[in-house]
Structures are given as structure tokens and as C-alpha cells.
Structure 1
Amino acid sequence: MMETRRPDVPQSQIRDAIAAHDYGKVVRLARRAQGLTQQQLGARAGYSAATISRLETGHQALDDITTLRILIRVLGIPAPWLGLSPLPSSEDPPTDQSVHSLFVIASVSVEPHLAGEDDAVKRRRFLAGLTGLTGAALLAGTQEAADAATMARRIESLLTSDTTGTSASVTELRAALWSARATFDACSYDDLSVILGRITATAQATIAQAGGQERDQANACLADAYMLASELAVKLNQDGMAWVAADRALTTATFSGDPFAIAGASRAVAIAMRRQGRHEGAVTMLTRAALGLGAGTPEPQALQVYAALLCTAAYSCAQNGQRAQSLDLIGEAEQAAARLPESTSRGRLPTPANVAVYRVGIHTALGEPGVALDHSRGVNPHLLSTPERHARWCVDTARAWEQFGRRDRAVTALLAAERSAPQEIRRPSVSTLISGMRYGAGPVPSELHALANRNGLA
């Protein structure tokens, strides 16, 4: 497949649009510079193509902060370009070089086979520009995506190294974590495995030198970094390291006193427990954390975390064969997600669409692939706002089709996941699914052999 040539966009146009605060035009120029259609940008941001068109032309006001942050993330542009305060501590005004960087980097969510070695380096350099904390670590990465064993060694080093970092402000730490979360959401797991070591070392140094509220906030940042490390370890089937990282996240979150950090870390520990077969203990931990949030209030962050905890608890019950309890919990999660304001329901935590994806996995785990596929058909992919969530939906749907006896449809779903997030397909658990389908009884689609070869399973 040949890469579509990106249109040339004069640098002066985007500078003028920024100076005129014409943010719709900035979005349009940035989109065109990356070779995206309005439909493609909308799919990544969780909006329709018509909405993107209205935002670009000014027929719909581009003044909602959540929408602006989403567009900044999916386009990979500096926050001041859309009139927001930069997430990093400092960010120079656009120069010829910074504008040029936008036009030559690959989108963080890349099509398979379109991102060569040069694009991988450019992506790392662009991410490095987001925050000084991650720059050195990102540029130390290899040109090609690291394999699972290499990423696992990086997580192990993060957990065992006594490397001393340089302290930073809480604002800088939060900026680095924002970049790390965006990297996870883009399924750039190799980049993330490098970033996290730098962030944890910096957070530890900051905690050692800070006091009072700043120390509490730095502890919350460190807890968030450990949670991301645990999530990455789960992706790599490194369950032992996932539990260690989650436990550190919970300890550090407790030091911070932040109830949302504590709840999030509790969820990470529960996931690790579930993967070790401790389903009942995991559910107890999750429901206790959910009850402690006071989710009867309309606060969006509380509702999002509450829904996330219940989704995980529901899936844990399903894996343990507790059908009634699982369905009760996912039903409650759906109600919580439905209460979120639309402008705040497109984040990384459960939205109605993301909860619907959990339904697919739950019914597959319960041995009900037909019900799972019915729920999968009801998912609107345009509302799955990150490549990671879209790929998760595709993979869960593939598992349901495979269980239903339709290997051909399962392969189609896996190919869709590969187009959205190639590194998600290279996860060990997905490779196991591919191998099982390849050597199972019955005809094997030719596309499955090609997919296996691309995953190194020849």
C-alpha cells in the first residue's frame, strides 16, 4: 500500500490563523497537513464528519474546552494553537520549525505499513517536543517498534531501578503524564515503555524535594505513572509486574490523599488480582472503591471513575461465571455513564460507547457470543474516541465471532483492529488468539495467514 501524499500547506497560513484566533481554520489546516479527511478526524475525535465541518467553518462555535483538548490530542498540535494554556510548563510560539514538524510527522494513530522508520523517529521527536521530561527518553528509542520482551524489560527496569531523576514542577509532571496517556491511547506501547521510566524517576525526585500540597500532588502523579505501567504490563501479559506496579500505585495514591487516584489505583490492583484468578477479592475491592466515591453526586469525574470501577467488576464477575451479578454491575455502569454531560463524556474513562464495548467482552466471557455480537453491532465506532478503545472493540468482537464459529468474520474484525492500532494486534494475548484460529479445525482464511506472518507467527 502506498502512502497518500499529504498536501502542502503554507506555513504562513497556519501562523496567520493562530494570530487571528481562527481556531476552526487552524483545525482545518492541521487536518489537511496530516492528510486526514473530515470523516477520519471525526472518527478519531469521536465526532461526526458533519460536526468537524461545522467546527472548521465556524458554523458551530469552537469554544468548548473538552472539544479543544480532544482536537489538540488527536491532531498532535500545541495547545496555544487553539487558544488554550500549554500543558507543558513552557511552549514556544509557533516557528517555521514547529510548523514544519506538524506537517511532516505521522499521526500518532497510523495505518499499518504506512509508518516507516523515518516516521517512527519523527513521531518520537514530536512527542519529545511536548515536554522536556520525556524528550531524552523518547529519543533513546529504537527506530522500529520494540517487541514484547523488550518492553517488559523496560517495565522491570522502571520497577527495580534506583536511578535518580531531576525534580520538576507538578505542572510539568502533569504535562508529561498527559503525553504518556495520549501515547497509551494511541497504542504506541513501545514509546510508552520508554517514557514511563523517565516520568517515574522525575516524580520520585520531585516528591523528595517537595512539601505540603505540592508533595501530595506529586504523589498523585507518581501513582498515575505506576497505574499506566500496570496497564502496559497487562497488555504484555506480564501479570506479576502488573500487580507490583499497581500495588505501588495504590500505596503512592494513599500518600497523596486524592480519592480519584486511590480509586484508580484500586482498580489497577483489582485487575491484577483478577488475572491471577482472585476474582472475588477483585470484585470486593472494586465495589468498595466505587461506594467510596459518592457517585450519587453529578460530578463528572466521580461518575467516570465510578463507571470504570463497575465495568471492571462486571467483567471480573463474568470471568468467574457470576452472570447475574455481572449484568447488574454493567447495568449500573451504563446508568452512570448515561448521566455524564455530553461535553465531558468523550474522555479516556467509560462513556456510553465504551461501556457497550465492555458488554461484548462480558457476554463472550459468559459463553454467550450471540448476545455479545448483538451488543457489538450496537456500538457506534465514531464514539470510541481513541485507537486503543476502537481496537479493543474489534478484538473483543473477533473473540465473539471465533466463539460463534465464524472464523472468517473474526479475521475481518482483527484486520479492522490492525488498521486502527497495529501494536494492539501484536499483544501476546491477541497473538495467542490468532495462532489458535490458524491451527484450529476447519478452513483457514488466507488473510489469517498473512496476519500471522505480520505478527511474526510464521
Structure 2
Amino acid sequence: MGTTTGPDVGAIIRGARANARITQSQLGAACGYSASAISRIEANKLRPEHSAMLRMCEVLGIPPERMRGSAVPDGAAVATVTVVGPSDEEDAVRRRKLLTGAIAAGATAVVGSGTASAATSSGDPAAGLEDALFRLPAAEPVALPLLTARTARARKAFRAAHYADLGRTLPGLLATAAATRNAATGHARQQASAVLARGYVLTAELASKQHSDAAWVAADRALSAARDSGSPVPVGEASRVLAITMRRSGSWSSAVHFLTREAAELDAAEQRPAAVRTTLLLTAAYSAATGGNRSTALALLDEAEEDVERLPDVPGLFTVEATRAQVDIYRIGALNALGTPDEGLKVAAGLNIGYMVTPERRARAWTDIARMHHALGDGTQTFAALRRVEQEAPQEVRRPALRALTSNLLYGPARVQGLREFALRTGALPA
């Protein structure tokens, strides 16, 4: 998709931020992004999601209609939003309050390099990943069954949304997996490569949740190790996390092309590769939606739904299951991204989140439902969904994006009973 004509969105954001005397770190903390992501947005190298763009407009006092026709690579025009609100003086006071709370809450969410102890002190489970990826700790090779068991425990921590435990585990796991792979030959080396790939998949998943640039490195290494394994399933798993990093950098069309190509290479006649193929289609659909490509997004969702109807349940996929409930959640997320959250209400009404097998996936489902209600202006239902996220996975609700959503709701026009206590408890508001 070509570049659209219109205002220089990056320059508008940069100018408004400079005028407000807000640093990139502070703006990122208020909107659920890292400082480096804000830098790329201001350079028109990354297109924020629609909800994040509206959030920046609110924080910086930019009329959202100025963003129509965003001149951002691979991006669709941001829809015009008519704002009827308080006076300029009231609005300025509200923005100062919003920034005070959101910046303080997100100060530790800005990702940088560090160690596992840095993750503990900052509250960011991914804080030490970037440094660890470039300087893996010393490790000795171990027997393949032991390595596989350690990786299974790390996967269990991810699926349970125990991100602090996972962040502490990953550097040592990656180092041991790399040492084991390097010491092996033949088929044993291929098996170790598959295990190493999955360690990097978990690293990329955690880094993406925390908006860490370490996701790029981890995803690239995951795919390289997966290809060395010679197995299509790890390749599909690694392709998915690499495409997510592409999408987050603004290259949604590249992500869609990459995912659909990889999906086409998976054997639809074999259960496990076919189930992985379905997860690639779902991620491709959401990627297309973030770029405003409605027809492609809905077509990919329909194709994934057809696959799910044909296939029996395939338990044990590494991080994302191929089920009807999963398709429905991706459909709600895609409709949110396309700016038509009202279309997701019917889908949500027929969804049974209890059928989803892991706390991480159930929490993600409630997150998309919270975003849907927030986009529709229903603060009560948004808060109810956020509470369900917390019930399923307390560490999930402390992610930068969820803190930003909570803060946005807290400083919105409607008062929601219990929200302030929730914001204090989850870190969206400083104690």
C-alpha cells in the first residue's frame, strides 16, 4: 500500500510534544509505548494503532481531525473524530492530570537494557532481555530431555501469565539451549535447534507484551533456529512472532505477505501444521486490520474460521491455540483496529472465554473486549472487562498498554466506581 497524502503526522506529534515540554519517554509512558517507539512515530517510521493515536492527541492537545490522511508508510488514514469537550482551560488542566498519573505509572515501562535484577526493581519483566540477548550468560550443554523440560516450564509460566518468573528464567534458558545446540550434531542438533527456537519465541512474546525492541532480535533468532530444525511447526511459530514485530514497527503489509506465504507452505492435511497455519492466518488478519485493510482482514478471518471448523481440536500448540474462541477474539480485535467496534458486540455476546485453555489467552480476550467497550464510550463495561483481565492474570493488567488504557479511563469524563483503587493496585496510578 502506498503512502497516503496528508499532514506530516510525525512532525505534528513532535511539535506538540516539544511545545508541551514532554520528553519521548514521558509521552511513551502515557500512551503505552517505549521512547524508541515514539522516536520512530515522530520519524514516520511507525504507525501507532488507532486507539494509541487518539490517546496521543488527547495527551498533547492535538485535534484528532488533524491526523486525517496520515502520511505514514503502510498506514491507512486515521478516521476523523469529532470532539465536543470542555473549555481550553479545563482541557489543559485535565491533560496535566492525565500526564501526571500516566507518566508516573508508566515510568518503569519504558524499556531499556539491564539485568534480571533491573527487571525486578523496575517492575518490567522484559527489562533484562535486550542486554541478555547480546551477552548470553555462560552455560554448559545439557541432555536434550532436560532442556526440553526446562523449556516446557518456561512455556507454562508464559501461558499462566507469570511474566516476572519468565523474565528471570529466559536468559539462562537461552544460554543453555544455545550451548546444547552448538555441542550437538545430526538429528540431535536439529532437535536442539527446535527447542532453542521456542525459547526465542517465548522471549519475543514477552518482549512484545512489554513493547521492548528486544522482540526484533528474539524473533529473528527464533526463525533462524527454527529453520535449522527442519521442522515446519517451529518455523510457523517463529514466523508468527517475527510478523508481530513487523506489524508493531508499522510494516503491516509486509507482515501480511510474510504470514500468508508461510501459511501456504504448511501442510493443511496434517493436524499440527494445519493448526499452526490457522494461527498465522489470524495474526495476518489482525495485521491487515491495523493497516485499515478491511477486505483482507475479514477474508483471512473467514479462512481461519473455515480451517477451525474442519479440524479437530489440536491441544498443545506453543503459545496460541487454533480454536473457534480464538478466531472470535481475533475478529473482535480486528474490528477494534478497523474502527468498527460496534460490530464486535455480537461476536462478544456469543463468546465463551472459559473455553480458552490458558490464563494468558483468557486475559488477552478480556483485553480486546475492554478495548471494544472503551472505543464505544462505555466506561462501566470497560472497567468490568479490565477487572476480568486482573482476575485471570494479575501481571497481564500491569502491561504498558493496559496501564495506559486504565489511565485513560481514569482521567476520562465519566466516573467509574472502584476504578481509582484498581489503578493504584495495578500501577496505572502512583501510590
User: TM over 0.5: same fold?
Assistant: yes
- 1:402-451: per-residue Cα shift (whole Å, max 9, x none)? 111101110011001101110000000010111111112x2220221111
- Deviation at residue 244 of structure 1 after TM alignment: 1.0
Is 2:288 aligned against 1:314? no
Shift in CA distance, 149/241, structure 1 to aligned 2, threshold 3 Å: farther
- The residue aligned with 2:395 is 423
1:329 aligns with 2:303: no
Query: Are residue 443 (structure 1) and residue 414 (structure 2) matched?
Result: yes
The alpha-carbon distance between structure 1 residues 150 and 413, as it changes in their structure 2 partners (threshold 3 A), is closer
CA contact (8 A) 2:219 2:238 kept: yes
**Structure 1 residues 154 and 251: CA distance shift in structure 2, 3 A:** same
Q: Could you tell me whether the CA contact under 8 Å between 2:308 and 2:323 is conserved in 1?
A: yes
What's 1:369 paired with? 341
Tell me the secondary structure at the aligned position of residue 368 of structure 2: helix
Correspondent of 2:208 among 210, 230, 234: 234
Identify the residue that residue 362 of structure 2 maps to in structure 1: 390
Runs of 4+ in 1 over 6 A off after TM superposition: none
TM-score w.r.t. length of structure 1 = 0.66
Verify: 1:198 aligned to 2:172, yes or no. yes
Tell me the residue number matched to 2:192: 218
Q: Distance in 2 between matches of 1:196 and 1:422?
A: 20
What amino acid is the match of 2:286? Y
Aligned to 1:262: 235
Count of matched residue positions in the alignment of Structure 1 and Structure 2 = 314
* 1:452 matches 2:423: yes
Is it true that 1:178 corresponds to 2:152 in the alignment? yes
Partner Cα distance (2:271, 2:415) in 1: 46
Contact 1:220–1:252 (Cα < 8 Å) also in 2: yes
* Counterpart-to-counterpart distance in 2, 1:411 and 1:162: 41
Aligned partner of 1:274 in structure 2 is 247
Query: Could you give the per-residue CA deviations for residues 75-102 of structure 1, whole angstroms, max 9, x where no partner exists?
Result: xxxxxxxxxxxxxxxxxxxxxxxxxxxx
Question: Aligned letter for 1:282?
Answer: A
Instruction: Give me the whole-angstrom Cα distance separating, in 2, the residues matched to 1:211 and 1:183.
Output: 30
CA–CA distance in structure 1, aligned partners of residues 406 and 389 of structure 2: 13
Aligned partner (choices 283, 286, 292) of residue 256 of structure 2 = 283
What percentage of aligned pairs have identical amino acids?
40
1:360 aligns to what SS in structure 2?
A: helix
Q: Distance in 1 between matches of 2:339 and 2:152?
A: 37
Alpha-carbon distance, 1:148 to partner: 5.8
Residue deviations 1:175-208 (CA, integer Å, cap 9, x gap): 1111111110110000001111111111111112
For residues 67-82 of structure 1, the aligned pairs below 5 Å read none
Q: Render the CA deviation track for 1:260-303: whole Å, top value 9, x for unaligned.
A: 111211111110010000011111110010001022x1x22112
2:282 partner letter: C
Cα deviation for residue 147 of structure 1 reads 6.3
Aligned residue number for residue 57 of structure 1: none
Q: 2:374 aligns with which of 382, 385, 402?
A: 402
Per-residue deviation, 1:394: 0.8
* 1:150 CA drift (Å): 4.3
With the length of structure 2 as denominator, give the TM-score of the two structures.
0.70
Change in Cα spacing, 1:274 to 1:201, as seen in structure 2 (3 Å) is same
Q: Is the 8 A contact 2:315 2:321 kept in 1?
A: no
Of structures 1 and 2, the one scoring higher in RCO (CA 8 A, sep 6+) is 2
